[in-house]
């Protein structure tokens, strides 16, 4: 009894340490990327509640105006660095999930009961990233975008908690993390929007096409697989755990459907009337004292893509 308790304590100590290492790694990565992109050290979490003008979709700090690193708003710099960290994380977790499923196909064959160290470590790494990003969003994001991002993070963390504490559903969770392969292109698309890329450029159009292809293959099809297997295997786990997982997966599916529609509409696949329009230029008749604010709103108008995953 004493030996088993000691082994269990050592296991949880190791796993908590892995989560903390993940938190520290992604926090340092954010600092390094911010320094690399903008030549500044950003060691703390800023709070942008100070002095702002509020648009319907965006909270815009009132200090900066023209594009470019030298005069880019602190909020926009944070968004670019946050998207960059998220892109790196998506690449790590997406390919890690694919590797786990390839080298240990039992995760596919018995996704409810089977567990392995490579898959469990992936979930621990993801937990650390999500905790770090959750705090970062609460401290920095000041638009309606935060609602769907926090909803997504809470849903995923809830699924991870069940997986880690009950040693169930690891195959379902790892398969779900294949969605991060699509998130790579979602984050690239958001970064191109933040930097003001022309949507007619070949690079942007290629990104859009790859985004749609990976969205169907690695997000929608995977989500259907998750729903099918959880409902088909309902009796293999306690009813309260199975019910909770079903609700979480359905919440994730609804988020993915909304994301799919918004991406298709924004990129013109649902007709020109629903396509996101290029923001209007700031004209000379705008009073000089208001031009800075209008330019900020124009620059920020395409930043609210609402990334899920």
Instruction: For 244-299, give the DSSP string.
Output: HHHHHHHHHHHHHHHHHHHHHHHTTTT-GGGSPPPPPPPPTTS-HHHHHHHHHHHH
**What is the token pair recorded at 309?**
């995953």
Question: Does 153 or 297 have the greater pLDDT score?
Answer: 153
In this prediction, residues 35-63 reach a mean pLDDT of: 55
Q: Rounded to whole angstroms, how far apart are CA atoms 298 and 303?
A: 10
> Which pLDDT score is estimated for 43?
60
Q: How does residue 159 score in pLDDT terms, banded at 50, 70 and 90?
A: very high
Domain count, the chain: 1
pLDDT reported for residue 45:
55
**Range with the poorest average pLDDT among 37-46, 104-113, 148-157, 297-306:** 297-306
Kindly tell me if the per-residue pLDDT of 282 is higher than 50.
no
Q: Tell whether 305 is covered by a domain.
A: no
Is residue 61 pLDDT above 80, yes or no?
no
137 with 150: CB under 8 angstroms? yes
Query: What range defines the domain where residue 107 resides?
Result: 2-300
> Average pLDDT of the chain?
82
Is 179 inside any structural domain?
Answer: yes
Q: What percent of the chain has pLDDT over 90?
A: 60
Indicate whether 70 pLDDT > 80. no
Q: Which residues pair with 60 in a beta bridge?
A: 53
Split at pLDDT 50, 70, 90, the class of 3 is: low
pLDDT above 80 for 296: no
309 assigned to some structural domain: no
How much of the chain exceeds pLDDT 70, in percent?
75
Which residue stretches of the chain are H helix? Answer: 2-38, 74-103, 106-109, 117-140, 145-166, 170-176, 179-194, 202-214, 221-232, 239-266, 288-300
State residue 245's pLDDT score: 92
Q: Report if residue 45 sits inside a domain.
A: yes
pLDDT value of position 153 = 95
Helix axes 74-103, 2-38, angle to 10 degrees: 140
Is 18 among the domain residues?
Answer: yes
Strand partners, 54: 59
pLDDT reported for residue 234? 85
The reported pLDDT for the residue numbered 117 is 95
Q: What is the rounded distance in angstroms from the CA atom of residue 220 to the CA atom of residue 13?
A: 36
Mean pLDDT of 266-293: 55
Per-residue pLDDT at 44 exceeds 70 = no
In angstroms, rounded to a whole number, what is the distance separating the alpha carbons of residues 165 and 86?
Answer: 26
Residue 145 counted as domain residue: yes
Tokens 């509020």 -> residue = 54
Give mean pLDDT, residues 298-309: 43
253 part of a folded domain? yes
- Segment 4-22, tens digit of pLDDT: 676 667 888 999 999 999 9
In terms of pLDDT, which residue wins out, 131 or 51?
131
């Amino acid at each position: 009894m004493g030996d088993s308790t000691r082994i269990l304590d050592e296991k949880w100590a190791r796993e908590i340490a892995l989560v903390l290492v993940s938190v520290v790694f992604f926090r340092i990565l954010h600092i390094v990327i911010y320094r690399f992109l903008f030549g500044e050290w950003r060691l703390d979490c800023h709070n942008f509640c100070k002095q702002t003008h509020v648009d319907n979709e965006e909270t815009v700090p009132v200090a900066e105006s023209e594009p470019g690193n030298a005069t880019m708003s602190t909020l926009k710099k944070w968004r670019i660095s946050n998207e960059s960290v998220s892109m790196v994380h998506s690449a790590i977790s997406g390919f890690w999930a694919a590797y786990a499923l390839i080298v240990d196909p039992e995760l596919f064959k018995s996704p409810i009961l089977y567990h392995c160290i490579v898959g469990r470590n992936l979930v621990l790494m993801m937990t650390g990233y999500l905790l770090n990003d959750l705090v970062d969003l609460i401290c920095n994001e000041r638009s309606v975008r935060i609602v769907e991002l926090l909803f997504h993070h809470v849903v995923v963390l809830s699924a991870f908690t069940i997986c880690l504490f009950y040693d169930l559903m690891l195959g379902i969770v790892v398969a779900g993390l294949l969605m991060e392969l699509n998130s790579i292109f979602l984050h690239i698309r958001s970064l191109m929007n933040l930097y003001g890329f022309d949507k007619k450029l070949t690079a942007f159009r290629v990104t859009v096409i790859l985004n749609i292809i990976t969205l169907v293959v690695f997000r929608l099809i995977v989500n259907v697989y998750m729903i099918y297997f959880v409902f088909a295997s309902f009796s293999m786990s306690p009813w309260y755990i199975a019910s909770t997982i079903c609700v979480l997966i359905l919440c994730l599916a609804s988020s993915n459907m909304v994301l799919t529609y918004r991406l298709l509409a924004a990129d013109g696949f649902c007709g020109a009337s629903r396509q996101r329009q290029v923001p209007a230029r700031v004209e000379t008749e705008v009073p000089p004292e208001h031009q800075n604010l209008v330019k900020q709103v124009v620059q920020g108008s395409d930043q609210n893509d609402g990334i899920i995953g």
